[in-house]
Copies of this chain bind each other. A is one copy, B any other.
Amino acid sequence: MHKVPVGVLGASGYAGRELCRLVAEHPALELSFASANEQRGQRVRIGASEVTFVATEDAPLNKAEVVFTALPHGASAKWVGNARATGARVVDLSSDFRPGSDARTNGIQAPYGLTELMRAKIPAAQVVANPGCYATAILVAIAPLLKEGWIVPGATINVSAASGVTGAGYSVRQDLLFAEVAEDFRAYSVGNQHRHIAEMRAVAKELGGRDNDILFTPHLLPVARGILATIAVPVREYLHDPSALWRDFYSGEPFIEIAADPPSLRDVVRRNVVRLSIAKAANVRQPTLVLISAIDNLMKGAAGQALQNANVLLGLSEQTGLPA
């Protein structure tokens, strides 16, 4: 069977390596190249196969039908342009093309690749802006409420979320050393300062949340991978079974799971899913739903969703090569 040649730029980071692994296991794709400037020339084992990194400058972009760019935010847009110039289609994992970004994108248009919510625009796209990991966990959870107009007008959606350390990328930072992270837990970007809030706000607005603010406090967990978002949403009233809204909304979606019990990281790690639970808060006068949303930040939060989008670009089943 002919396999579609793909390339990965920025392959040495956690998301990039996950992409290489997924491509190696994908029945319809083959890896043409994987670039990593600092590790150029190195041969590394990724899953059961081996990859030799090339410098990004030396990546044979013209050999790939699809290029995944997993480069740092700000550095990606240029290489998306370079890949486009060779005719490749691109799934960009940086924030450069996402709503709310202020990166210079030279007029390139890229639909937002939160596949389940915005699937229609992807097949014809030349570039897909793959969503951020926190944004994926949160937007999938609140989209039905936004679209159906259940949220109290003017109310703030309160999100407390926690991520494993691979969410910070493969950065060699003192505060990410084992001895600093183990047995610790900390909030960061406190006071709604996280750089991806613009992305969430912009997409939430598109989804119907014109009138609601998001207050988002991220935390760093002493785990390697996984994101858990705890979301309190003031709603107009309680329905008998509020989870029915989500089950209907995501009916038939293989990668969205509506669970009776709150999901935990173990339920989603190494899987390309969003797993959600919905509960009515007791003992409060303002009816409020508490949503728990769990993803693997490297799968549905990055490489897995990128591959899902590549499957859409190529006309393949979305599930091809993706463990549910």
Write the residues of chain A forming the contact surface with B, with a CB cutoff of 8 angstroms. 14, 45, 47-48, 154, 156, 158, 160, 162, 164-166, 170, 172-174, 176-188, 190-193, 197, 201, 213-215, 217, 219, 221-226, 228, 230, 232, 234, 262-267, 269, 271, 277, 279-286, 288, 290, 292, 323-324
Kindly identify which residue among B187, B201, B290 contacts A230, using a CB–CB cutoff of 8 Å: B187
Kindly identify which residue among B166, B174, B215, B267 contacts A284, using a CB–CB cutoff of 8 Å: B215
How far, in angstroms, from A47 to B176 measured CA to CA in the complex? 21
A262 — which chain B residues lie within 8 A by C-beta?
186-188, 190
| 26 chain-A/chain-B pairs, Cβ below 8 angstroms | A48-B324, A154-B285, A154-B286, A156-B285, A162-B185, A164-B179, A172-B172, A176-B179, A177-B177, A182-B182, A182-B222, A183-B223, A183-B224, A184-B266, A185-B226, A187-B228, A187-B262, A188-B262, A191-B280, A191-B290, A213-B283, A213-B286, A214-B284, A217-B290, A221-B221, A222-B222
Decide: A48 near B228, CB < 8 A? Known: A177-B165, A213-B285, A288-B156: no
User: In the complex, how many angstroms separate the beta carbon of A62 from the nearest chain B beta carbon?
Assistant: 32
How far, in angstroms, from A162 to B222 measured CA to CA in the complex? 12
A279 — which chain B residues lie within 8 A by C-beta?
190-191
Kindly identify which residue among B166, B177, B191 contacts A281, using a CB–CB cutoff of 8 Å: B191
A269 — which chain B residues lie within 8 A by C-beta?
183
**Interface contact A182-B223, CB-CB below 8 Å:** yes
How far, in angstroms, from A66 to B234 measured CA to CA in the complex? 47
**Interface contact A266-B183, CB-CB below 8 Å:** yes
Question: A201 — nearest CB in chain B belongs to which residue?
Answer: B283
**Interface contact A190-B265, CB-CB below 8 Å:** no
**Interface contact B221-A185, CB-CB below 8 Å:** yes
How far, in angstroms, from A158 to B234 measured CA to CA in the complex? 11
- With A14-B179, A178-B222, A222-B223 known, 7 other A-B pairs at CB within 8 A are A156-B286, A156-B288, A170-B177, A176-B178, A186-B263, A187-B292, A192-B282
**Interface contact B178-A182, CB-CB below 8 Å:** yes
**Interface contact B164-A162, CB-CB below 8 Å:** no
Decide: A184 near B264, CB < 8 A? Known: A172-B174, A176-B177, A290-B190: yes
